[in-house]
Amino acid sequence: MSTRVIYLDENVVGVTGSEPDLANYYTRAQTNDLLEALKNAILDIIAQQETAVDTHYVTLDGVDDYISLTGTGNCMDLSVGATWTLGFTVDQNYVGNSDKFSPVQSGDNNWTLYNGGLHSTIGDAANALNWNTAAYAQGIAAGDKIVLRADGTNVQFWWNNVQKHQATLGSANVGAGSFNNLTIGNATTSATAGAVPNWNASIDNLLICADQALDFNEMAEFFNSNDFDNYSFKDTKMTDFVTMGEDSYPNVTGERGVVTGTLVNGTPDNFVERS
């Protein structure tokens, strides 16, 4: 076996051995250029991965636009009697504390924030889950994160990793409903809150975990980071992570491709790049 030696001098970098045809020489300047290009390429890849879910968001005008999503299986079922976790980032919220808006609707089920309380209605007043007993949602601001979590027995409302309320379900709260789609920010009519207008806000990073109620440590991961690739529950509980405004208008696509949708009644200006 021949011995090969890598050597450096001020003019060349090369490999030499007993077989002359194995020798390949590069000038030091060429080698430095290659190493610099490789380093920059690696840094670019790392930067893209770290910022992929934070480059854009979607604005909602509070008039007639909203995000409409569909998905496979039962990933749209956010009924109070099911098990699931849903979280999202509020980039901006232009709704006053005394106003009402519906951040999430799943088929016949409406979740409405109103006067600081949280309402859920499945079809009619008999199936209403009324949480309007304290200031649970007043003052939602830019950068805040909201999580709704249901385990089949309780429904919880979390705001910035603090549980604001928990409601225990009775038989009247559990309805069948229709769960073939999910909307964000659409107008609705709630049996407990009445007519609810479209939401005037900016939204990003929608986490959907169908059939899974995240534990407290897992929810803390979502509250503290948008790096879904490093969530410990990514492969076991996460159905999809929907980044907003990253696709070509009007499309909205989950990172796993399970959830797809569009911004309805919007314009390309609603897909906003972060400054």
pLDDT, tens digit (0-9, with 9 covering 90-100), for 40-93: 766 665 555 544 557 899 999 989 999 999 987 777 777 767 888 999 998 887
The pTM (predicted TM-score) of the whole model is: 0.75
CATH of the domain at 104: 2.60.120.200
Asked if residue 43 and residue 82 are part of one domain, the reply reads no
Instruction: Kindly tell me if the per-residue pLDDT of 231 is higher than 80.
Output: yes
Integer CA distances (angstroms), 118 to 5, 86, 89, 145, 247, in order: 72, 15, 17, 15, 31
Asked if residue 189 and residue 60 are part of one domain, the reply reads yes
Asked if residue 130 and residue 240 are part of one domain, the reply reads yes
Asked if residue 76 and residue 44 are part of one domain, the reply reads no
Asked if residue 156 and residue 248 are part of one domain, the reply reads yes
**Nearest by Cα to 85 from 257, 240, 256, 254:** 240
To which H or E segment does residue 6 belong?
Answer: strand 5-8
Let me know: does 147 contact 160? Beta carbons within 8 Å.
no
Instruction: Kindly tell me if the per-residue pLDDT of 121 is higher than 60.
Output: no
Asked if residue 258 and residue 172 are part of one domain, the reply reads yes
Domain span at residue 29 reads: 5-50
> What total number of domains does the chain contain?
2
**Nearest by Cα to 138 from 99, 89, 184:** 99
Asked if residue 24 and residue 65 are part of one domain, the reply reads no
Asked if residue 259 and residue 158 are part of one domain, the reply reads yes
Please write the tens of the pLDDT for every residue from 168-211.
665 444 444 556 688 888 888 766 667 788 888 899 999 999 88
Let me know: does 252 contact 262? Beta carbons within 8 Å.
yes
Integer CA distances (angstroms), 80 to 36, 171, 267, in order: 55, 11, 33
Asked if residue 205 and residue 113 are part of one domain, the reply reads yes
- Alpha-carbon distance 105 to 120, whole Å? 9
Asked if residue 101 and residue 34 are part of one domain, the reply reads no
